[in-house]
């Protein structure tokens, strides 16, 4: 039996990268997964991998920053699998600039996806949480639910060129610590994981002069990191390299498993010892 048998997990941004590996790690432990990506094809790929791992999954695709998304993804979990026990707010991207060149659109877009979207999802989650806990208490049950919000070392330490992203990720820490206090009485642990340099498509190395982009809400957003900067970061990291998405997922799993049932309001920094 897996540690998460009978549990239902919502994982945003789980079509690729870290989110996909989080979904797979939880699925291997027995959880049923609500997969989300802004595009359908990556979500279907993750669902296929989850089914290969012997678990169940359903997609709730679309932009997590949409006004109705929080209610929609919680409803998908409850209507498909009958419950929701774990929420991992992982979806996001970066849109960097120094503050004097940053537009209001840039600021708002990153705050919306990294801070307002988790707020809306968790607000919607409470509408299921409270009556579920009341039913469980009446039946003499105590079920511990889990919230893991993905932060960043940019939110812990700041990072030049990322005032929008750093502010959003610092806000995630405040949100997590506050909900840990508000939701403890409902047997919910709320923690955050702050990643350093993890090797994903958003941090892939670029050749000199090369520019990678992704399309987000009709915008072309630059992604990738100059190879020289990656080499410098790797030299500074005591473990000598960036982390893998699988390693990142492992740290999130710690907070989703029963082994952390008395750990709440914490931020785990995952940066290879930097």
**Dihedrals φ, ψ of 183, to 5°?**
-105, 0
Active-site hit among 93, 165, 197, 253: 165
Q: What is the distance between the alpha carbons of residues 186 and 142, in angstroms, rounded to a whole number? A: 9
Task: Please name the helix (run of DSSP H) or strand (run of DSSP E) that holds residue 222, with its range, or none.
Answer: strand 219-223
Sequence-ordered list of residues with C-beta below 8 angstroms from that of 148, at least 6 positions apart, any chain: 86, 87, 88, 89, 191, 192, 193, 252, 255, 256
**Can you read off the two tokens belonging to residue 247?**
């390693």
Encoded tokens for 228? 């020289």
| Pair of tokens at residue 133 | 């806990």
Is 262 noted as a catalytic residue in this protein? Answer: no
Provide the annotated active-site residues. Answer: 165
């Amino acid at each position: 039996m897996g540690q998460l048998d009978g549990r239902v997990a919502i994982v945003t941004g789980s079509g690729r990268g870290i989110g996909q590996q989080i979904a797979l790690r939880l699925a291997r432990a027995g959880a049923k997964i609500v997969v989300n990506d802004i595009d359908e094809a990556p979500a279907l790929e993750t669902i296929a991998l989850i089914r290969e791992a012997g678990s169940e999954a359903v997609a709730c695709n679309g932009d997590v920053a949409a006004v109705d998304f929080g209610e929609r993804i919680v409803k998908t979990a409850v209507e498909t699998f009958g419950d929701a026990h774990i929420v991992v707010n992982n979806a996001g991207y970066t849109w960097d600039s120094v503050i004097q060149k940053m537009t209001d659109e840039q600021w708002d877009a990153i705050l919306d996806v990294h801070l307002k979207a988790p707020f809306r999802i968790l607000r919607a989650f409470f509408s299921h949480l409270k009556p579920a806990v009341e039913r469980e208490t009446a039946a003499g049950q105590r079920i511990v639910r889990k919230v893991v919000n993905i932060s960043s070392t940019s939110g812990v330490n700041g990072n030049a060129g990322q005032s929008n992203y750093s502010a959003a990720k610092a806000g995630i820490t405040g949100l997590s610590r506050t909900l840990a206090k508000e939701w403890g009485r409902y047997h919910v642990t709320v923690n955050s994981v702050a990643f350093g340099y993890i090797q994903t498509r958003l941090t892939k190395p670029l050749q000199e002069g090369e520019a990678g982009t992704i399309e987000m809400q009709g915008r072309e957003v630059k992604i990738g990191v100059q190879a020289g900067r990656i080499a410098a970061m790797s030299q500074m990291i005591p473990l000598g390299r960036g982390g893998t998405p699988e390693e990142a997922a492992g740290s999130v799993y710690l907070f989703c498993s029963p082994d952390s049932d008395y750990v709440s309001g914490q931020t785990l920094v995952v940066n290879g010892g930097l």
